[in-house]
Structure 1
Amino acid sequence: MWPRRVELAGSRYPRRLRCAALGLGAAAILLSGLPLSLAALTGLAALVAARRWRPATPRSVDVTPGAVRLSLRDGRRVTLTPPFRVMLREHWLALHCPRRGWVWVFPDQAGPAALTPLRQ
Structure 2
Amino acid sequence: MHILFTLWLAVTPLLNNLGATPAPKASVDRDICKIYGSVYLERDPKYKNTASYTVYLNEEEAFANMVVYRENNKLFADGTAIWYLTPSKAFADHVLYVTENRNFADFTVHYTDARAFATCRE
Question: What is the TM-score when the length of structure 1 is the normalising length?
Answer: 0.28
Q: Which has the larger radius of gyration?
A: 2
